[in-house]
Amino acid sequence: MSSHNPLDIQFPWAEAPAYGQRETIMDGLDWIRLPLPFALNHVNCWHLYSDDDSCLIDTGVSTKETTELWNAHANQRGWPSKLLVTHFHPDHSGLAGWFAERGASVYSSEIEWGVVKQLNAVDADTYRSIYQQWYSSHGVDQSYIDALAHVGNTYTAKTVSPPAQCQYLRAGDTIELGGRTFAVLTGQGHSPDMIMLHCADDNILIAADQVLPSITPNVSWMPHNPDANPLASFIACLEKLRELPEETLVLPSHGLPFTGLHQRIDFLLDHHQKRLSEIQHALTTEHTAAQLFPLLFKRKLDHQQLSFALGETLAHLIYLQDLAQVQSETRDGIHLYRAIK
């Protein structure tokens, strides 16, 4: 993810609530921010409620601090009757099983929930081996590969076991949550079938990670990704979201709520086009994906960021391959890329 502080979008709230505290967006819709133990240090959750219905959107990761914050919240407001998991990433799905144990019915998309179950089923040795092979085949420095020897399933380390039951939502569905009617939209690229919610009556979009105000969503191809061309899917989704009104209030999973959806979409599309051009220019000579990191990522990558960096680099390479602008060759188990003249 890269940072950008746009001047062409508006922030109705100048700052976020303290961790675990509530900020009212409008009647029956509250904003709750939770800490994350990563470089991206927070996630926004949304609470929809009425006299007879309560739905939480996303959970944060499974940590002692997060569960203590949710327990304090429940002591004041009770446990939600529904939990909607927008996508499989641990900062969104990490406590789904924990909330289900406390009576919440879980909702998500079938594809996203399939990835949740798939990743929870992988034993530590297999998970480690998959990532070591993935890193090695794309030229990642051996120090990162060696470090994986001490790492197990990093996904289950941030989550609790998911519940057996989940009710599936699909694009085009309509759902009543907390006294509001929402159209279900799905987003691709950042994850394979991420749930978003649009309320036309109140002109709000709960956007998950599809459109963020000041960082670019990570668009990655990773070993567990069922999307063969995630960047193409991401671009197509942004163009579809342009059909929503420009003045839509966007409630993102990271950063502040904002208006100026179309301008933000334009920025994100331009950002990826620039990256594609940079990669294509660099590939006048042969590179591995890892050799492109200094071009695309200007900071030193930690071990978590490296997997995102590799996934995002591959998403751009796959996009260019599908356009027949880049070709790949495998030699000695290493994938090499070059622009097609």
265 contacts 248 by C-beta, under 8 angstroms: no
In a domain, 17, yes or no: no
pLDDT recorded at residue 242:
97
253 contacts 44 by C-beta, under 8 angstroms: yes
In a domain, 203, yes or no: yes
Q: What is the Cα–Cα distance from 187 to 195, expressed in whole angstroms?
A: 6
pLDDT recorded at residue 4:
47
pLDDT recorded at residue 341:
79
pLDDT recorded at residue 98:
98
Give me the number of domains the chain comprises: 1
pLDDT in tens, 149-159: 888 899 999 99
User: Structure pTM?
Assistant: 0.95
Among 168, 200, 202, smallest CA distance to 186 is for 168
What 3-state DSSP class applies to 117? helix
Does pLDDT of 47 surpass 90? Answer: yes
pLDDT recorded at residue 57:
98
162 contacts 96 by C-beta, under 8 angstroms: yes
Does pLDDT of 5 surpass 80? Answer: no
In a domain, 282, yes or no: yes
In a domain, 212, yes or no: yes
Among 217, 192, 54, smallest CA distance to 116 is for 192
In a domain, 1, yes or no: no
In a domain, 39, yes or no: yes
In a domain, 319, yes or no: yes
Q: What is the Cα–Cα distance from 181 to 304, expressed in whole angstroms?
A: 38
- The domain that contains 152 carries what CATH number? 3.60.15.10
Domain that residue 144 falls in: 22-339
Q: What is the Cα–Cα distance from 42 to 282, expressed in whole angstroms?
A: 34
pLDDT in tens, 189-217: 999 999 999 999 999 999 999 999 999 99
In a domain, 11, yes or no: no
